[in-house]
Amino acid sequence: MRPIGLGRGAWRGNREEGFALEILHPGVSLGLGDSGIGAIGRIDRAWARPGHVIGMHPHRDDEILTYLRAGRMLHRDTMGHEQEITASRLMLMNAGHTFQHEEEMLGPEPVEALQIFLRPRAAGLAPQVQFHDLDRVLSRNAWRLLAAPEGAPLTVRAQAWVEDAHLSAGSSLVLPPRGPHVVRLLYAFKGEARIADVVIRDGESVHLGADTATVTATAEVDLVLFTTDPGAAVFRGGMFSGNILAA
């Protein structure tokens, strides 16, 4: 599959009011009939001012990975959790059939983060929340598995894998193999990288298949890699991860 570069998402909110969000529906960018790609439903790039509170709100049938790159956030939910999330502490909310949470921005610096909405294999699963402490904030010049159906610190209830890497300028990495039938989305959180003839910068991504491919940092870059099996069972009716193009 030829790599296809995707533009940035659509911004909502206002930084002057304390919160802004860039929403990427990768299937929309690709012109598909599904706003997502397999189990990859939606990727939100969020910015929030210190002290800003996102009040209690529901999720349903979403698998939501919270991936901070700057700042600190306090998470509270209807299952009784009250946990601080940072760049070295991840959270995965397996929302299932009913779940609510709120977020309060802590400390002196703004929060910069991804909220990654993955699609579960089925509707109505039991809700749960997972936390994981990373041994270091950045995985330098190596892929680090964050979430997967099995064998990862955080368990996703779908055929989806999330990995990250921080590449120094001029360094290269081969994308990790995940089987012959997967598709992948490589996202640049900050910096610049090239894969084949496609260059991606802050907030941009590239869509590609299972073929062996190498990514090269044309400048220092933070990358997040999403992999999914588009032939696997997936529920496309999640509250935020669902197909917004469905009739």
Element (H, E) at 29: helix 26-30
pLDDT in tens, 30-71: 999 999 999 999 999 999 999 999 999 999 999 999 999 999
4-228 under CATH 2.60.40.420, yes or no: no
Does the pLDDT value for residue 247 go beyond 80? no
Q: Where are the domains of the chain?
A: 4-228
β-pairing verdict for 144-148 and 154-155: parallel
pLDDT in tens, 115-138: 999 999 999 999 999 999 999 999
Q: Are 61 and 235 in contact (CB under 8 A)?
A: yes
pTM of the predicted structure, to 2 decimals: 0.96
